[in-house]
Amino acid sequence: MFFSSMHSSVQIHGILNAVSWGLLLPMGAIFARYLKTFRSADPAWFYLHVTCQIIGYGVGVAGWATGINLGNASNGVTYGLHRSIGIAAFALATLQVFALFLRPRKDHKCRVYWNAYHHAVGYAVIILGIFNVFKGMAILGVEQRWRTAYVAAVWVLGAVAVTLEAVTWSVVIRRREAEQHGKTFDGAA
């Protein structure tokens, strides 16, 4: 009975964390990074970003708590690196949530520093989260089909980000050229 319950908790831990740290948080970052370039997407990009981040963080808290419980129930079994990365990702994500209460107005002189902090910590959380999902898969020895599915999902997110990076730069360059010539460009095709 205990093994069955423990195995179920391990699976729940893995699924919650793969979905939150490994998919939802990166998706929220993609919305913020790329959609805000398009003036017609304002403020929708912000609400998509916040929604993904809130849901991702909430699911991540549940996954992290499940991991803490698993660690407490597993006497003598410690996965130090996986645990340390999980704690670091959770701590940084929690810091990110609390930093929202200190966010200066858009026109405040300190906003540029807050934005740099927000981006650096956010990307660190995403990198740590994705890396730790792979560490967890290795620890559990998950079936290859699940690894392949997760790798495919991460690759799709990466391909979307690379594609949108090119599109975004194209829009920014055309917008700057249009503004230099006294025209307006909203980024629509």
Burial class of residue 135 (count of CB atoms within 10 Å of its CB; 0-12, 13-18, 19+): middle
Distance CA 161, CA 129 (A): 17
State the total domains in the chain.
1
Q: Enumerate the H helices of the chain as residue ranges.
A: 2-19, 25-30, 44-73, 80-99, 111-140, 144-180
Tell the residue number behind the tokens 């407490």, with chain if given: 72
Per-residue pLDDT, 110: 93
Q: Tell me which residue range forms the domain holding 29.
A: 2-143
The answer to whether residue 77 sits within a structural domain is yes
Per-residue pLDDT, 4: 59
The answer to whether residue 170 sits within a structural domain is no
Distance CA 173, CA 176 (A): 5
For residues 103 and 97, is the Cβ–Cβ distance under 8 A?
no
Per-residue pLDDT, 100: 87
* Rounded mean pLDDT for each run of 10 residues along the chain, 189 residues in total: 66 94 95 89 93 96 92 80 94 93 92 95 96 93 93 96 93 87 65
The answer to whether residue 6 sits within a structural domain is yes
Tell the residue number behind the tokens 């460009």, with chain if given: 185
Domain CATH code at residue 31 = 1.20.120.1770
Per-residue pLDDT, 5: 67
Per-residue pLDDT, 44: 93
For residues 17 and 64, is the Cβ–Cβ distance under 8 A?
yes
The three-state secondary structure class of 129 is helix
The answer to whether residue 24 sits within a structural domain is yes
The answer to whether residue 103 sits within a structural domain is yes
- Rounded to two decimals, the pTM is 0.85
Which residues, other chains included, contact 55 with Cβ-Cβ below 8 Å and sequence gap of 6+? 20, 24
Tell the residue number behind the tokens 């079994």, with chain if given: 77
Distance CA 51, CA 183 (A): 34
The answer to whether residue 183 sits within a structural domain is no
The answer to whether residue 66 sits within a structural domain is yes
Distance CA 115, CA 119 (A): 6
Distance CA 71, CA 178 (A): 58
* CA nearest to 17, candidates 125, 161, 144, 121: 125
The answer to whether residue 50 sits within a structural domain is yes
